[in-house]
Amino acid sequence: MTTDTGSFFDTKFAPPERASAAELKSEIDVFGSDKLLNTVLGSIPDFTLILNKYRQIIFANQSMLNYLGKKDISGIAGLRPGELLNCSHSHEVSGCGTTEFCRVCGAVRAILSSQSGVRDVQECSISTLDCEKTFNFRVWSTPYERDGELYTIFTIRDIADEKFRALLEHIFFHDLTNTSSGIYGLLSMVDGDADKFKEYSGILVKLSQELLEEIGAQRDLVMAENNEIVLQQESTSSGEVLQDAFDLYSNHPVAENKNLKIADSVDITFTSDKRLVRRVVGNMTKNALEASRKGDTVTIGCCIFEGKVRFFVNNPIYISRDIQLNLFKRSFSTKGAGRGLGTYSMKLLTEKFLGGTVSFVSEPGSGTTFYADYPLESGTNAGTVVSTEPSASPRKTSI
């Protein structure tokens, strides 16, 4: 057999080679003319593909074709699964399976397992190149030998609703219950005692704010995924955004035995949806605190970077490369099952709705810094510096 494998082929994970046009056509004809195979796989409601040894599609069942709005396999034959689904990394290096990110993709890993003769089940999260969709799939790969060649029967099931429901259940049954219990406990203590109520009223207000913040975060995420967010553009102060994040999380349970400070920062007035920007910076701050150890310091701040307003949050913890490759994926979390919306929602809100970008750098010694960059209108005036001491008076600065 021959392959179209010019010197331009490269890979950082799976083999990059692809079948020649003649070889691909021969395989498609063989499987397309198998009436029994078409009947059996056509009766399966899940999306099912058959892949050749180069991980290319040579057969798709009726469920898959119906989803794609196609009458037959023409137009998708020869593609790899990530290319079919327009994965954001499918146009890098030599295509699906060949990028560094593919090392942690459950779909690629399952296919490679089947090519070694082992049936496998994995989960994967795929964000599309246009950022319009994020998929959560459970995939099954089954080795299938025919005419001396080993193929992969690759079955895909959409589990986005299952994963999202589990995450929301965790949030509402765990996080919101804890905050609500704190409010209830304090109210029980101060019941009928005016002096105690005055003493604890500030804590009650803060707990209520945390509760509303948790509910609002989930509401905004659901609306963002359904493309239902209506932006409310208004004058936004970066200093106020930082101070809000500090006030909300400096005494939050995630900050227990940790330090939160605001770096010497420029206070910039820019136009954006203030509520969503606060949500993103708040998520960055909360995630950094959750990832930190006792005694660690998390630093938040703002500066001007390449003509944009840049928010940054640093903690001293280095993120391993495998975890870095998974960050921003829907449902991925280092904090265990039932988590994983923080970094995903930051990127979704910023890049799909606010016209900005979210990125990060993680290095041993300097820790991890997340960045959120937003457009800055020309002629924007500099304001005050936000002090590292929340009680200190702001001072003037210039850009």
Element (H, E) at 21: helix 21-32
Q: Specify the number of domains making up the chain.
A: 3
What value does the mean pLDDT of the chain take?
A: 84
Q: Within this chain, do residues 294 and 379 fall inside the same structural domain, yes or no?
A: yes
Final residue belonging to a domain, choices 198, 228, 258: 228
pLDDT of residue 326: 74
Both tokens of residue 312? 């940054």
Is the torsion defined by CA of 103, 104, 107, 111 positive or negative?
A: positive
Residue 381 maps to a domain: yes
Nearest to 380 by CA among 395, 398, 393: 398
* pLDDT tier at 179, thresholds 50, 70, 90: confident
Overall average pLDDT of the 25-39 stretch: 95
Residue 96 maps to a domain: yes
CB contact set of 148 (below 8 Å; sequence gap of 6+): none
Q: Within this chain, do residues 89 and 222 fall inside the same structural domain, yes or no?
A: no
Under 8 Å between Cβ of 155 and 121: no
pLDDT tens-place string over residues 232-242: 899 999 999 99
Q: Within this chain, do residues 188 and 154 fall inside the same structural domain, yes or no?
A: no
Q: Tell me: pLDDT of 264 over 80.
A: yes
Residue 114 maps to a domain: yes
Overall average pLDDT of the 307-317 stretch: 96
Final residue belonging to a domain, choices 228, 247, 274: 228
Is the torsion defined by CA of 60, 63, 69, 70 positive or negative?
A: positive
Residue 371 maps to a domain: yes
**How would you classify the pairing of strands 259-262 and 297-305?**
parallel
Final residue belonging to a domain, choices 117, 132, 158: 158
Q: What is the CATH number of the domain that holds 372?
A: 3.30.565.10
By percentage, how much of the chain surpasses pLDDT 90? 58
State the residue range of the domain holding 126: 21-158
Under 8 Å between Cβ of 358 and 239: no
Q: Within this chain, do residues 197 and 288 fall inside the same structural domain, yes or no?
A: no
DSSP states of 188-220: HHHTT-HHHHHHHHHHHHHHHHHHHHHHHHHHH
Distance, C-alpha 211 to centroid of its chain: 23
- pTM across the whole model: 0.62
Q: Within this chain, do residues 238 and 384 fall inside the same structural domain, yes or no?
A: yes
| Residue 258, phi then psi, degrees to nearest 5 | -130, 165
Q: Cα separation of 208 and 12, whole Å?
A: 49
